[in-house]
């Protein structure tokens, strides 16, 4: 597992925490590495691919495995489905998760009558059927969906091309398993009661995750932020604003977590 040190390889005296950074469904965590660019402490990236997920049957099991792999107290950041993994880790090992950030994530992905903020069930099931027919083509369609709403969609599509070609670590079996996680994982209670400092960031241009979740009930120690011009894949100026939010959140948490 690669480690990204700070510029000089050590944390400054202010002791910025290490980061466990977890990617989303069907995509490399490298896509959101700019979020922790020049972070002055080690960064431990985890992709939800065949290597990162292994034999774990669900989000909670993966979270427990990762807390064993990364036992040092850290800031846990999760993008999209990775946000649910980070939240589950905070519940399983609160002493290790100093604070948690979710980016374009959700307590529950698929909508119900009681949870209208999620993706429509019919749309999700149509996507799942497409995955059964052609997993890699379906994955690529999902990646393209992440650029919709970008202020410069043409440039976003060009920037996405290298990631579209990276399919070797995402087997059809792994894509199907983690898609089931999206269908079945319900953390609404956890997001309301978690007793750790938490920052939840959503984008007002996101075509995958409804930014209305920023208005949902969160725990007393959590704050929700809606970022202008942010679609599901943070990049450019929107990524810079997300990075500022994370740095400010960590500074505010010092001596609290």
Task: Please list the active-site residues.
Answer: 80, 206, 232
The beta-carbon contacts of 245-250 under 8 Å, at least 24 apart in sequence, are 245/199, 245/201, 246/35, 246/36, 246/77, 246/101, 246/199, 249/99, 249/101, 249/197, 249/199, 249/223, 250/16, 250/17, 250/75, 250/99
The DSSP bridge partners found for residue 22 are 46, 78
CA 120 → CA 112, 117, 126, distances in Å? 8, 9, 10
State how far the alpha carbon of 22 is from the alpha carbons of 9, 80, 117, 181, in Å. Answer: 21, 9, 23, 15
The CA distances from residue 197 to 25, 99, 217, 243, in Å, are 25, 5, 15, 17
| DSSP strands (E only) in the chain | 19-25, 43-48, 74-79, 97-103, 198-203, 222-227
CA 254 to chain centre: 22
Q: Write out the two tokens for 11.
A: 């944390």
Cα R_g (the chain), whole angstroms: 17
Cβ(226)–Cβ(211) under 8 Å?
A: yes
């Amino acid at each position: 597992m690669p480690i990204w040190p700070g510029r000089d390889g050590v944390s400054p005296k202010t002791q910025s925490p290490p980061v466990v950074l977890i990617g989303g469904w069907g995509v490399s965590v490298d896509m959101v590495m700019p979020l922790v660019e020049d972070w002055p402490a080690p960064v431990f990236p985890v992709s939800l691919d065949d290597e990162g997920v292994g034999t774990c049957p669900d989000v909670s099991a993966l979270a427990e495995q990762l807390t064993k792999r990364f036992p040092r107290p850290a800031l846990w950041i999760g993008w999209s489905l990775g946000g649910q993994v980070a939240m589950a880790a905070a519940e399983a090992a609160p002493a290790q998760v100093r604070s948690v950030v979710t980016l374009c994530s959700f307590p529950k992905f698929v909508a119900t009558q009681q949870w209208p903020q999620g993706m429509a069930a019919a749309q999700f099931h149509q996507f799942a059927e497409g995955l059964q027919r052609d997993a890699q083509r379906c994955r690529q369609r999902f990646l393209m969906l992440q650029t919709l709403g970008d202020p410069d969609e043409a440039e976003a599509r060009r920037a996405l091309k290298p990631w579209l070609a990276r399919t070797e670590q995402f087997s059809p079996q792994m894509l199907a398993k983690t898609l089931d996680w999206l269908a079945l994982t319900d953390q609404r209670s956890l997001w309301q009661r978690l007793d750790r400092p938490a920052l939840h960031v959503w984008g007002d241009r996101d075509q995958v995750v409804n930014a209305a979740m920023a208005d949902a009930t969160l725990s007393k120690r959590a704050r929700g932020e809606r970022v202008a011009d942010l679609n599901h894949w943070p990049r450019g100026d929107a990524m810079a604003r997300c990075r500022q939010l994370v740095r400010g959140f960590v500074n505010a948490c010092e001596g609290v977590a």
